[in-house]
Amino acid sequence: MDDWESSSPPVTKRKGCLPGRFDSFRLRLVERFALEAHGGAGLSLADQAKLFDLLVAWDRTKPGQPVDAGHFLGMCDTFNSATAFTTALRDDIDAAVVDEGCLMVELVEGGETFQVIFRPVLELALERMRAAKSVKLWSGGDRPAPPTNKRESPMDGDAFRLCEASVITENDENAFVLGLHGFSDASRVSDSGGMFGCRGECGAGEGVCASMGLVTAAVGLACTGC
């Protein structure tokens, strides 16, 4: 009895609730898709808004949308089956991966084999720099910044800052260091208390150091405390 008396409806109707507006065959298909997608979980509110924007454009009523050769064509004018549709999606994905220059290799770690997809780092970095609207060449904006206790990014580490200053000193003020931030779950092990090998230059003695930074771990330099 106590459970019954303390029960309440799981939801309440909003003020001005107007159910039943999906009142045609086509609209009921849209509603069913929105509620049953993702294995029955349905679309999120953000995805529902994206679906609405898509359908407005598909109805040719989206303000400012271009009128091209396919403006008045239906889905079946281009894809005569679901297989043709999914194959076309796969073809575009495959073409994008190939055009991006992605490579694949099998890595063996601890007796386990992992399939890894990657892109050549230096080639990718130069491409991103060419495409960027603005490029920050030095840690301090227009010059190398001094070492700092901040660790807001891997480039704040002493190893990178001191390397940057050394490169400028040995060359000229136009020289800069290309720092690569290689992010992966394995690289973040130090955040959970993991230890990396240390050369002892930070005064902690040789052995392990909990402060090994992401960039220095990736390139095999000293820990950020060194």
CA distance 43 to 38: 7
pLDDT tens for residues 122-135? 888 888 888 988 87
Q: Is residue 212 very low, low, confident or very high in pLDDT (cuts 50, 70, 90)? A: very low
Torsions phi, psi for 194 (to 5 deg): -70, 160
Q: What is the mean pLDDT of the chain?
A: 80
Residue 70 scores a pLDDT above 80: yes
Is residue 121 within 8 Å of residue 132, measured between CB atoms? Answer: no
Residue 204 scores a pLDDT above 70: no
pLDDT tens for residues 100-115? 888 898 988 888 888 8
pLDDT confidence of residue 185: 53
- Residue with structure tokens 């959970």? 192
pLDDT confidence of residue 137: 79
pLDDT tens for residues 162-177? 888 888 888 888 888 8
Residue 226 scores a pLDDT above 70: no
Q: Is residue 139 very low, low, confident or very high in pLDDT (cuts 50, 70, 90)? A: confident
pLDDT tens for residues 14-68? 999 999 999 999 999 999 999 999 999 999 999 999 999 999 999 999 999 999 9
pTM for this one?
0.56
